[in-house]
Chains A and B, each alone.
Chain A
């Protein structure tokens, strides 16, 4: 990584809403997918974005790439705001910003050969390349992602999920981008294939000097790849911290709940623990709770939580937390903080803390995504 602190991408106060058409007599509704999201990505790092489904992870990725137009806020790429750009100006920036999608097969045009698919960004962005040169680059890229060059004339449906994702990665890399948004790149794959693809991404990251924004709901995967991790809940950042620090000492109640909910691939240990008290469903993003969005499910919620949106407070060590009680919870411990509450939510049993410690043990790797097989 660079010694100098190079900010590659900086997202400021990003807001994205979707309007949902109501019925004939009903008012149209507004769904807030992203609410005032601010963060930066430094050159060479991997930023992991985690959260439950529907929390705005993918929307954030698409807003960064301008595949969706944000309602408000800035996406500064090397200091240049991408939000207001005209389509043609944005098109030229796309060389630097690429994307890998969740469903590897759906992201490949079924009527095009692999060679054409991988060459597509080159055709669009580097039209002065000759056919031969384009083909040569495609073959080189296929080798780099572990595809046999003889597969160049095959069609996507002849490939397995893992191979298809390699094609997607080759397509994203062919323009030599600086940043790649990986939108759940492995969640549609088998666990063993996941490891291969993650290792491939890690290798390519080193080889091409990439910066990654890695979106996933799989905490194990994110931990494995990320330098820093951002936790989203209903379109807001609740906590952002360097990966190890986040896993070692989660500050926000939601992050704690997420980490204890990670499946353990050992039935004996899994039986010993219960998941820290998260009750209910994710509230509807159309009508989120006032103040802190998480308060309806938070075991430590107090009346003040409903009053105002908790600001993102720096909590040392490059960490930010959006919770008005994080110091209390952190210092007094879970049980004490819960006892202080007026009985909102379930009271976690004293063992809750033990279980959290269990998860935090250095040897613990949830669903070990990198069984060093290869």
Chain B
């Protein structure tokens, strides 16, 4: 090679090294940069710790509990917190241990939140990216459908589902997921509209990359920032929605429980048995706060330009 000669020898040597199997050093990816920034954010790190602690306790602790959530202690109805009887958070009107029920309720809320978020994010990304990338008529039709769904009151939607199919937790996932993906789709579509004008997408088109590949390999990975942020902010929303639906009696069914159900039960008797309301409310608030701070931290970490 003329022009930039002198490097040939070095290049050949490197090529041989690579051929022998010496691996090329890893590059510093954008996600790793973001992780580094996140690790430096104290509020976000504390929140992650709190959230992880709540999740681990909710899933591990039930194995070591002296009382089962459904078990009735005939000697202790409406008992305030009492370490001697091992009812650390007291019992409810039916003599069930509140701590056991709280753990189960937290579990349920977390599962609903994760599944519904996963469903809504997956549908939302694919739907939004396809609508945004295709543009034109396809985009118009797909987004008008989203507008229609938006116009439908989701409570009505959930009530109809429940009336038709009966009260099953799976319906809760479907109902909430079906509502939450709409916003995700809009956000993703907006981002896609700006991304598809970027030169690297044009370069991919010029390289003969198929449209579906462009969406999956070039557009979706560049959506990570907004998607991750929106997803972390969706989780608390879903927990609240689930609590609200449970409060209305449309959510999880006894003897299953969730944070929302516990709060709704406790709210009615707050004046006489405050121990039934305070613990689930504290757990819910802690989780929501933690998730919000994590969302903020992720936004700052993934999008340092926006600060």
Residues of A near B4 (CB, < 8 A) are 146, 196, 199-200, 203, 374
Q: Which residues of A in the span 147-164 have a Cβ within 8 Å of any Cβ on B?
A: 148-155, 157-158
- CB proximity of B108 to chain A, nearest CB, Å: 36
Residues of A near B29 (CB, < 8 A) are 111, 113, 155
> Contact between A121 and B208 (Cβ–Cβ < 8 Å)?
yes
> Contact between A203 and B1 (Cβ–Cβ < 8 Å)?
yes
What's the tally of chain B residues with a CB closer than 8 Å to chain A? 38
Residues of B near A219 (CB, < 8 A) are none
> Given the complex of chains A and B, what is the CA–CA distance between A203 and B224 in angstroms?
40
Residues of A near B209 (CB, < 8 A) are 120-121, 123-124
> Contact between A98 and B18 (Cβ–Cβ < 8 Å)?
no
> Given the complex of chains A and B, what is the CA–CA distance between A114 and B7 in angstroms?
20
Residues of B near A125 (CB, < 8 A) are 207-208
A191 at the interface (CB under 8 A from B): no
- CB proximity of A358 to chain B, nearest CB, Å: 31
B204 at the interface (CB under 8 A from A): yes
A81 at the interface (CB under 8 A from B): no
- Residue among B14, B24, B25, B211 with the highest chain A CB neighbour number at 10 A: B24
- CB proximity of B188 to chain A, nearest CB, Å: 15
Residues of B near A139 (CB, < 8 A) are 15, 18
B210 at the interface (CB under 8 A from A): yes
Q: If the complex has contacts A124-B207, A202-B3, are A113 and B14 also in contact, measured as CB distance less than 8 A?
A: no
Instruction: Convert B214-244 into 0s and 1s, putting 1 for each residue whose CB lies closer than 8 angstroms to a CB of A.
Output: 0001100110100000000000000000000
Q: If the complex has contacts A106-B198, A109-B222, A155-B28, are A149 and B3 also in contact, measured as CB distance less than 8 A?
A: no
> Given the complex of chains A and B, what is the CA–CA distance between A155 and B30 in angstroms?
8
> Given the complex of chains A and B, what is the CA–CA distance between A154 and B27 in angstroms?
4
> Contact between B199 and A153 (Cβ–Cβ < 8 Å)?
no
> Contact between A149 and B210 (Cβ–Cβ < 8 Å)?
no
> Contact between B208 and A91 (Cβ–Cβ < 8 Å)?
yes
- CB proximity of A110 to chain B, nearest CB, Å: 6
Q: Which residues of A in the span 71-124 have a Cβ within 8 Å of any Cβ on B?
A: 87, 91-92, 94-95, 97-99, 101-103, 106-114, 120-121, 123-124
Residues of B near A175 (CB, < 8 A) are 207-208
Interface of B: prevailing SS: helix
Q: If the complex has contacts A101-B199, A106-B198, are A94 and B24 also in contact, measured as CB distance less than 8 A?
A: no
A4 at the interface (CB under 8 A from B): no
Instruction: Convert A120-151 into 0s and 1s, putting 1 for each residue whose CB lies closer than 8 angstroms to a CB of B.
Output: 11011100000000000001100110101111
B151 at the interface (CB under 8 A from A): no
> Contact between B25 and A91 (Cβ–Cβ < 8 Å)?
no
> Contact between B24 and A203 (Cβ–Cβ < 8 Å)?
no
A98 CB contact (under 8 Å) in B198, B199, B206: B206
A234 at the interface (CB under 8 A from B): no
> Contact between A203 and B3 (Cβ–Cβ < 8 Å)?
yes
- CB proximity of A29 to chain B, nearest CB, Å: 20
B200 at the interface (CB under 8 A from A): yes
B272 at the interface (CB under 8 A from A): no
Q: Apart from A108-B203, A120-B209, A151-B27, what are 16 other A-B pairs with CB-CB below 8 Å? A: A65-B206, A67-B205, A67-B206, A92-B208, A109-B222, A111-B222, A112-B221, A123-B209, A125-B207, A140-B15, A150-B17, A150-B24, A154-B28, A175-B208, A196-B4, A374-B3
